[in-house]
Structure 1
Amino acid sequence: MDHVGVLALFDRDMREGAQPEGSDARVERVGGVVRHVSSERGWNAVLWSDLDETGADAAIAEQIAYFSGLGREFEWKLYGHDLPADLGERLRGAGFTAEPEETLMIAEAAALDLDAEPPEGIRLRSVTDAAGVDLVADVHEKAFGTDSSRLRHQLLARLSGEPDTVVAVVALAGDEPVSAARMELVPGTRFAGLWGGGTVEGWRGRGIYRALVAHRARAAQERGYRYLQVDASSQSRPILERLGFHPLTTTTPYTYAP
């Protein structure tokens, strides 16, 4: 893989040229910033920026004022190659809180090992309705220890309004949901994003996560997407590397609550 070329393509298609996630969202380009604006239950974020040392602080202040005026908490999604080099320090100085750093990993779907099947006793169920969304949300809360109401709202909206832009799957042990994940598809691009892969404690280390990656990769290929993208935690990065994903840069969410 041409790491430099693929990263540049990712920046162009998925960040600078981002599309809104859902009918209640919009993408705005203001100066050197591209931001995603949604409802209180949606995702509000700065996706891309083209800043230098002289204009960065003013751009940060402008985004704080804008989202605070809407009463929205928002995220500045910072990548390791973004400029200026001290942008993360400037965000912290302006009141942002840094979440754990992740690794942007990308693979060509056709180059992956897609033979990974669920372990014995586990079956995969495609999520297409509210009952399936409830199972995904249940796994999310147990695996990550966080509230799943926003995820529930967003996934239901996608499945009802734009079903061709999302693939969701849950792993069941009998009738018990033990792992879940989704894939977001961006029409007109070559990238499919893998998100939310989580397994309930007690079921980890058995190959379920690997099977969910393979399931979504096959679905991406069937729909004509060339690349798969993941913001990988330190736990999932080794699994993804063994499957054939390449680390291209880091990504850190900086959050601001007005």
Structure 2
Amino acid sequence: MNSKPAGGFVRESLARQYLSYYDGQLRTDAETPSAVKVQRLGPLRLINFAGGQGFITYPHITPTDDTHLASLVGEALAYFREQPEINGVEWKSRGHDYEPGLHEQLLAHGFAADASESIMVGRAADLIAETPLPAGVRLRQVVSETDVRAMTAMQDRTFGEAVSTHHAEAILRRLATADGMQLWVAEDSTGEILSAGRLEPVPGTDFAGIWGGATVAAHRGQGIYRALTAARARAALELGKTLIHSDSTEYSRPILERYGLLKVSTTTPYRWSRTQH
């Protein structure tokens, strides 16, 4: 007798459905709306982003596909190596793809694996909740260069990284494309940013992504990030986006699960840097 609770079957069925939406709608050109150049290599999409960043992605690969991703690593990397303006390359893998030997070939060609993250998907409507904010804290959307630089500096510090002008400039370049990305912050009465995150509606799909979520350590557990997530979900619905997706660390995954998102797979970014080779 199978003792798995009925709720578990429902969640698994829903997660499979969400994963099919993710593969069908997001693993296309919709995945990289800010690409400045796209080159095809078999199933691979080789992407150039502004600022000298390369990116490699592809549709879902199954055992029945006549595709051997591992055999394409060298040629894909050579494509970017021949472009002196490219400083680094990310190969974005997914845990539910059929990719025997890929990990070994990526390492052999100088890529290093980052920590795996959970691919989270759920309904935007499930993320909406009336969450009271601490006294003096307000939410708002930001667009000015001053606000963007303050926001990215807070995110860098919160993630334990050095404050980076590169991070701010990448976001400013993205804003300049007017592709629909929204930046949301929570700030106190003095204007100090306590929490922040992006909303990225994906054209031609049911999806919007929530990214870059960060809250200053001293202000966690006060409902601020919950309220910020709800605000982004409302904005997504206003744009006609009914599904939310995000790649989450093991710190943020349980938070998003409490909000109603489901883990549908994993993603592991592999990175190559010209300065290290």
Taking structure 1 as the reference length, the TM-score comes to 0.89
1:2-21 alignment, distance < 5 Å = 2-18=14-30, 20-21=32-33
Instruction: Point out the structure with max Rg over C-alpha.
Output: 2
One-letter identity of the residue aligned with 2:266? T
What SS does the corresponding residue of 1:5 show, helix, strand or coil?
helix
Measured in 1, the distance between the counterparts of 2:67 and 2:260 equals: 40
Deviation, 1:195, is 0.7
Where does residue 39 of structure 2 map in the other structure? Answer: 28
* Structure 1: gaps (5+ residues): none
1:34-45 alignment, distance < 5 Å = 34-39=45-50, 41=51, 43-45=53-55
Work out whether residues 30 and 203 of structure 2, in 8 Å CA contact, stay in contact via their aligned partners in 1: no
Deviation, 1:78, is 0.9
Structure 2 CA distance for partners of 1:19 and 1:248, relative to 1, 3 Å: closer
Measured in 2, the distance between the counterparts of 1:48 and 1:158 equals: 22
Give CA deviations for 1:113-153 in whole Å, capped at 9, x if unaligned: 42234333321121121122122112122111334333322
Where does residue 177 of structure 2 map in the other structure? Answer: 161
Where does residue 115 of structure 1 map in the other structure? Answer: 130
Deviation, 1:154, is 2.7
* Identity across the alignment (%): 37
Q: CA RMSD in A?
A: 2.2
* Equivalent of residue 58 in structure 2, options 48, 51, 61: 48
* Equivalent of residue 95 in structure 2, options 49, 56, 80: 80
* Structure 2: gaps (5+ residues): 1-12
What SS does the corresponding residue of 1:179 show, helix, strand or coil?
strand
Does residue 86 of structure 2 align to residue 70 of structure 1? no
Measured in 2, the distance between the counterparts of 1:43 and 1:229 equals: 23
Does residue 255 of structure 2 align to residue 239 of structure 1? yes
Where does residue 57 of structure 1 map in the other structure? Answer: 70
Structure 2 CA distance for partners of 1:154 and 1:234, relative to 1, 3 Å: same
Deviation, 1:198, is 0.9
Does residue 106 of structure 2 align to residue 91 of structure 1? yes
Work out whether residues 18 and 27 of structure 1, in 8 Å CA contact, stay in contact via their aligned partners in 2: no
Deviation, 1:14, is 1.6
Where does residue 124 of structure 1 map in the other structure? Answer: 139
More deviation, 91-100/233-242: 91-100
Deviation, 1:42, is 5.7
Taking structure 2 as the reference length, the TM-score comes to 0.83
One-letter identity of the residue aligned with 1:126? Q
Structure 2 CA distance for partners of 1:157 and 1:43, relative to 1, 3 Å: same
Structure 2 CA distance for partners of 1:238 and 1:28, relative to 1, 3 Å: same
Work out whether residues 30 and 204 of structure 2, in 8 Å CA contact, stay in contact via their aligned partners in 1: no
Structure 2 CA distance for partners of 1:32 and 1:177, relative to 1, 3 Å: same
Structure 2 CA distance for partners of 1:86 and 1:209, relative to 1, 3 Å: farther
Work out whether residues 3 and 248 of structure 1, in 8 Å CA contact, stay in contact via their aligned partners in 2: yes
Measured in 1, the distance between the counterparts of 2:79 and 2:239 equals: 37
More deviation, 6-15/67-76: 6-15
Does residue 107 of structure 2 align to residue 104 of structure 1? no
One-letter identity of the residue aligned with 1:44? G
1:185-200 alignment, distance < 5 Å = 185-200=201-216
